[in-house]
Amino acid sequence: MSEQGTGKPWRSREVTEGYMRGGQRALLKSAGLKKSDFSKPFIGIANSYNAMHAGHVHLNGLAELVAKGVEEAGGYPFEFGVIALCDGITQGHDGMYYVLPSRECIADSIEIMVQAQRLDGLVMLGSCDKIIPGMLMALYRLNIPALLVTGGPMMPGKYNGESKAIYEIREAAGQVLAGKMTPEQFEEMEQNVTNGPGSCAMMGTANTMAIVAEVLGAALPGCATAHAVAENKAYIARWSGRRIVEMVREDLKPLDIITQRSFENAVRVAMAVGGSTNALLHIPAIAAEQGLSITPDDFERASRTTPLIIKAKPSGPHTLWDVEQAGGVPVILKELAPLLHMEEKTALGNTLAESVADVENRNPNVIRPIANAYAPQGSLAILKGSLAPDGCVVKQSAVVPAMRRHTGPAKVFDSQEDAIQAMREGRIQAGDVVVIRYEGPKGGPGMREMLAATAVLMGMGLGDRVALVTDGRFSGATRGPCVGHVSPEAAAGGTIALVEDGDLIAIDIEERRIDLLVDPEVLARRRQGWVPKPPKIQSGVLARYAALVSSADKGAVLRPPVAAGR
């Protein structure tokens, strides 16, 4: 039996049609369906609501609006849950080991639900750092009509009359330790630094990936920067419910929209808006679900040829609310149009060029035209050299000019906790290069963020005078000369495993170099005596993750790319 507009049966008919499906129909009736509902497309609503997660605590309301839109368009909605970790809550303890691995769990769980229950279309609701990438991985892996509704940024907090974001309270902790802020001032700032539900009010990983989703055509226009509590976020949720039913009837799938050029657009936009270093992990992992390859070299080429047109926190003064008021992603696309593949499609089926034809930049001081860009290059720089033969990354847009070229002695630590203890004890001095290793995908395991360490450095006044180099990763909130994703990682025998206290490390962002200034013969002797350290956690899901995960320069994925749409 063919369905209108598709020329082929909907997947749900494998559950609902024929005498042999009587048991399935009976179970669905017990879940509340009527006989007339079996003729409707079945739409999954993957909801990552979480009562402990500021970015997701409001998603139940958006899910209800998506379901209403599905029903209005003649579909039947089925909501199911998805895990969601808050990177902010997992900072500074063993919980952070689990955050990056959760990305694969999210993608796997959505795949299992959709494939097992034969859903025809899918709307996914998520807001934050690993949830959006995991959902996008599932979207391309499944290749059924699908949309992402990002939960939206929270409104910026206010302290002393200034807009604030969550990373600033973490840096304030260092100020308290350094005697530069009183406990009373800290408590007042803590009370006011956040403002209601939503993803953190900065250009961190969550909002970087929300923008990427919209550029790819996985979310409706305007979705990425529509704030969690704003009226247009509610409208977009309901619109997405209606649109997904239309996409099922049109048989419009992700692989009909997304191409290699779409990912090239996404990388370039991420560079132009000051995007997070974590994009270097997530965009390649999403592309791999289509069998496409996005490498650190692609990021480097894009960043070198893309001007920086937004400087939002933590790299500049603006918030995501400022970006939204200026016009959001549609204006970003219009300003960058000469550099983009504007013939690529949106989730509405039209081209990017058509979708932004009538938009206007409402604040060129926030989203700058190319001719008046903040900088001639984008946010990230890929460094290579003897310390990182396969590359590493720095958010160059957040590095002060004086530290763009720096050579200093190494202070070496095998965990973030040991490094923080040294900072608190005053053992880190201006000019040092702090090396934190065995924090990579395998060695962590789980490639923890080093935000706790960078926040202490910033708070103590050393953030722009000390470099930090790690095979772990950084939060989108990180600023300063912080170099992450060093590949190969220490656990895999990378050069970073051979560094000793006092070795000189040279970082040159302009030349894209990072080198360990040690005689090769000395390094060869050190390698002969090197014994790898075991992962810090060797049981449960992290043991499996450590055994299967790729290196950071490959996106920290668990398997080779496979063809989508099976």
pLDDT in tens, 253-310: 999 999 999 999 999 999 999 999 999 999 999 999 999 999 999 999 999 999 999 9
Polymer length of the chain: 566
- Tell me, what's the pLDDT at 8? 66
Residue-wise pLDDT for 192-208, tens only, equals: 999 999 999 999 999 99
Per-residue confidence (pLDDT) for residue 7, from 0 to 100: 55
- Per-residue pLDDT of 497-517, as tens digits, reads 999 999 999 999 999 999 999
pLDDT at 315 (0 to 100): 84
Contact 422, 466 (CB under 8 A): no
For residue 5, name the pLDDT band (cuts at 50, 70, 90).
Answer: low
Please say if the pLDDT value at position 69 is more than 90: yes
Cα–Cα dist 371/41, whole Å: 48
Residue range 152-190, pLDDT digits in tens: 999 999 898 888 888 888 888 878 888 889 999 999 999
Encoded tokens for 393? 């990354």
| DSSP E strands, 17-75 | 42-47
397: left (phi over 0), alpha (psi -120 to 50) or beta: alpha
Helix (H) or strand (E) holding 187: helix 183-192
Provide the pLDDT confidence category of residue 4 given band limits of 50, 70 and 90.
low
CB atoms within 10 A of CB 548: 13
In this prediction, residue 457 carries a pLDDT of: 86
Any catalytic annotation for residue 551? Answer: no
Report which of 277, 108, 161 is spatially closest to residue 209, judged by C-alpha positions: 277
Alpha helices in 38-130 (DSSP H): 59-72, 99-117
Q: Report the C-alpha dihedral over residues 32, 149, 561, 12, rounded to 10 degrees.
A: 20
Q: pTM value? A: 0.94
Domains in the chain and their CATH numbers? 157-194 (no CATH), 380-554 (3.50.30.80)
**Rounded Cα distance, 488 and 252, in Å:** 40
- List the catalytic residue out of 303, 475, 487, 550: 475
What DSSP letter does each residue of 428-489 carry, written as one string?
Answer: --TT-EEEE-S-STTTTTS--B-HHHHHHHHHTT-TTTSEEEESSB--TT--SSEEEEEES-
pLDDT in tens, 456-496: 888 788 888 999 999 999 876 677 899 999 999 999 999 99
